[in-house]
Amino acid sequence: MASSWTRGRLAGLPATCLAATLVVSTAACSSTSERQAGTEARQRVAQLADASGQSDVALQMYASTAAARPNDPVAQADYARALARNGSAPMAEQIIAQAMIQNPRDTGLLSSRASIRLMSGQAQQALADYDALLSSRPRDVAFLNGRGVALDLLGRHQDAQASYLQARAVAPADMRTINNLAMSYIIQGRAQEAVAILDGIARTPGAPPRMVTNLAIASAALGDQAAAQSLVGQALSREELDTLVRDLRPPPGRHLDRGR
């Protein structure tokens, strides 16, 4: 039986306008520009739904766009990432693999595959993808961050931190990089260094919530429960903070991780 993705692709094929030559009063087939406008509208709806947390609506719209644009690597990558976010990583990888047959050098497809592999815990495969991407774009901040996350998942924290520091050299104020570097320090047992890079930023108005949470975790790891609790307020109890610290604390012998 054909998969839902395959059925969706078949459903997206344009209908043949047989009646147009038989009945003069019948409306003509939609022009190419109209079909493109409809597809672009669906893509915008998908992006808005994604941003507002309506993942089911976003997935439907991305699927519709991908069906209408089977040869568009951007549409295929968007659909694949949406599937992965909804817990369908194997199907997402299949879509990327199919799209890469026609577009083997497409950077968007390769970076999407890398992020999907990270989401599904395939850190070694994701690392290989990010290394390939960085071979042609060595200063790309997103790729350097992706590589760092993959290395952290593999327990190679010093190598991960080197990747984040490369990203900071390119974009010193990038919040994602700062947050990832701090989390890597926390996982490695270097909470003081995490506090040093998070403190000024996480306490400013409008700071990303996850950055504030990570500063609270780092403070709790240093034994400063009062500072930690003042950051998170009622969002996390002391017991929850203690659990996070315990779960992130490296086992004996991992504090001095030497990377490779």
Model pLDDT for residues 169-192, shown as the tens digit of each residue: 999 999 999 999 999 999 999 999
Q: For 119-148, how does the pLDDT look when each residue is reduced to its tens digit (9 = 90+)?
A: 999 999 999 999 999 999 999 999 999 999
Q: For 117-127, how does the pLDDT look when each residue is reduced to its tens digit (9 = 90+)?
A: 999 999 999 99
Asked, for residue 79, whether it belongs to a domain, the answer is yes
Q: Are residues 137 and 114 in the same domain?
A: no
Q: Are residues 112 and 128 in the same domain?
A: no
Neighbours of 163 (CB within 10 A): 27
Asked, for residue 58, whether it belongs to a domain, the answer is yes
- What are the counts of helices (DSSP H) followed by strands (DSSP E) for the chain? 14, 0
**Model pLDDT, residue 114:** 97
Q: Are residues 64 and 101 in the same domain?
A: yes
Asked, for residue 66, whether it belongs to a domain, the answer is yes
Q: Are residues 131 and 64 in the same domain?
A: no
Q: Are residues 108 and 51 in the same domain?
A: yes
Asked, for residue 142, whether it belongs to a domain, the answer is yes
**Model pLDDT, residue 29:** 38
Asked, for residue 258, whether it belongs to a domain, the answer is no
> CA distances (Å), 138 to each of 77, 166, 170, 182, 211, in order?
22, 9, 10, 22, 26
Its pTM surpasses 0.85:
no
Owning domain of residue 237: 191-250
Q: For 204-224, how does the pLDDT look when each residue is reduced to its tens digit (9 = 90+)?
A: 888 889 999 999 999 999 999
CATH number at residue 65: 1.25.40.10
Q: Is 218 exposed, middle or buried (0-12, 13-18, 19+ CB in 10 A)?
A: buried
Q: Are residues 112 and 83 in the same domain?
A: yes
